[in-house]
């Protein structure tokens, strides 16, 4: 086999491996995190799947993770009002052991019921809901 063809084939194989690995790593953006055994899914609003390279820079005022019926909600620490938010693509929420949990697409816990989230950034969307930026989200275990 000519050297140029061998090099071309090697590059093609490496490209295919990188594309498959990237697709495997990004798959949770479309599927969301796996639900733990014994948990029940809670409803949250999420963005459409896609890659984000930049976000608005507003900071959401501190909010407590809570639930209402089958919905995960954020409640303003200052006013006690429910705060309408849209989570990044792939985020999920569930109730486990009686408490609500919100997690990133790979299962990293962002907050548990009662936790105060005070570092969520993003901006207000066209429907007056705060659109949370996926960049820089602090996890509960960090």
Q: Give the whole-angstrom CA distance, residue 99 versus residue 109.
A: 13
120 Cα distance to chain centroid: 12
Q: Residue 117: which of 38, 41, 49, 63 has the closest Cα?
A: 63
Q: Give the whole-angstrom CA distance, residue 22 versus residue 38.
A: 30
User: Is 80 exceeded by the pLDDT of residue 21?
Assistant: no
> What is the structure's pLDDT at 88?
92
Kindly indicate the confidence band of residue 33, based on its pLDDT and cuts at 50, 70 and 90. confident
Q: Give the whole-angstrom CA distance, residue 3 versus residue 121.
A: 52
Neighbours of 120 (CB within 10 A): 23
78-123: pLDDT as tens digits: 999 999 999 999 999 999 989 999 999 888 999 999 999 999 999 9
Kindly indicate the confidence band of residue 55, based on its pLDDT and cuts at 50, 70 and 90. confident
102, 72 in Cβ contact below 8 A?
yes
């Amino acid at each position: 086999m000519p050297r140029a063809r061998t090099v071309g084939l090697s590059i093609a194989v490496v490209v295919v491996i990188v594309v498959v690995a990237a697709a495997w790593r990004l798959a949770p953006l479309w599927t969301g995190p796996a639900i733990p055994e014994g948990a029940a899914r809670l409803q949250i609003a999420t963005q459409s799947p896609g890659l984000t390279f930049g976000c608005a820079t507003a900071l959401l005022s501190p909010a407590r993770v809570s639930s209402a019926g089958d919905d995960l909600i954020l409640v303003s620490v200052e006013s006690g009002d429910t705060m309408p938010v849209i989570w990044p693509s792939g985020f999920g929420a569930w109730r486990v052991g009686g408490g609500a949990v919100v997690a990133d697409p790979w299962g990293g816990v962002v907050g548990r019921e009662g936790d105060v989230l005070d570092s969520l950034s993003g901006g207000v969307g066209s429907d007056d809901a705060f659109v949370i930026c996926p960049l820089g989200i602090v996890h509960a275990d960090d």
